Amino acid sequence: MAANFDASMSFGEEHAPPRLFKNPLVVGSHLVFRSAAIMTYMFSFTITDSFIIQFLTIIFLLSIDFWTVKNVTGRLLVGMRWWNFVDNDGNNHWKFETRQDQSKIHPMEARVFWLALVLCPLIWAALIFMAFFTLKWEYMVIPIMGTCMSGANLYGYLCCKWSSRQDLTNYLSKTFLYNMMTRAGSYANQTTA
């Protein structure tokens, strides 16, 4: 009876519904901040015609997003952080850190983090082309800033994930080789069928 008593000390955890995210507030803020500047850029013409107000609002939202992803959501969702500093000689030093114990990282939160981190620079790049081809060249400045800031975060976290260029090159070559082999196998199956 005593062994059974110790085993049942979970206090209802077995009856609790499974949670999709361990940190739903952090995941939500990551997604909201990532999309706020993009949505404001796409729909700001309905609020005001002033380019200056649109520009300042979107740059402010981009800055909040950049800071939040770099300093909060990256640490909590994937256990990574990066920064740079300038020493007394004026040299720039980049630091990339990854938590050694990755077992506490929730896999769904990590997927959401990386998906949003990769998609945002792509969306901003598409908005650059849209502004260019619609001849709204003054509005290209905003998505260029969005691409730079989102791209800087993406670059920083990729450097955290792969501690060296060799790790990144190995990963990309393995992925490329796997995709080529998969396509070759599916092509061979189609021709024999």
Where are the domains positioned within the chain? 20-97+104-161, 164-193
Burial letters for 123-157: b for 16+ Cβ neighbours within 10 Å, e otherwise?
Answer: bbbebbeebeeeeeeebbebbebbbebbeebbebb
Contact 44, 54 (CB under 8 A): yes
Burial letters for 45-83: b for 16+ Cβ neighbours within 10 Å, e otherwise?
Answer: eeeeeeeeebbebbbebbeebbebbbeebbebbbbbbbe
pTM assigned to the model: 0.73
Backbone phi and psi for residue 124, each to the nearest 5 degrees, phi listed first: -60, -40
Determine the pLDDT at residue 193: 59
Determine the pLDDT at residue 187: 61
Determine the pLDDT at residue 115: 95
CA distance readout (Å), 130 to 6, 17, 112, 135, 193: 63, 44, 26, 8, 43
Determine the pLDDT at residue 114: 94
CA distance readout (Å), 108 to 24, 74, 112, 160: 11, 14, 6, 19
Determine the pLDDT at residue 171: 67
Taking the CA of residue 170 as centre, how many other CA atoms within 13 Å lie in the half-sphere pointing to its CB?
7
Per-residue DSSP letter, 76 = I
Q: pLDDT tens per residue, the chain (193 residues)?
A: 444 433 443 444 455 556 778 888 989 999 999 999 999 999 988 888 899 999 999 999 999 999 999 999 999 999 999 888 898 998 988 888 888 888 888 889 999 999 999 999 999 999 999 999 998 888 899 999 999 999 999 999 998 888 755 666 676 677 777 777 777 666 656 666 5
Distance CA 116, CA 157 (A): 12
Determine the pLDDT at residue 188: 59
Determine the pLDDT at residue 165: 56
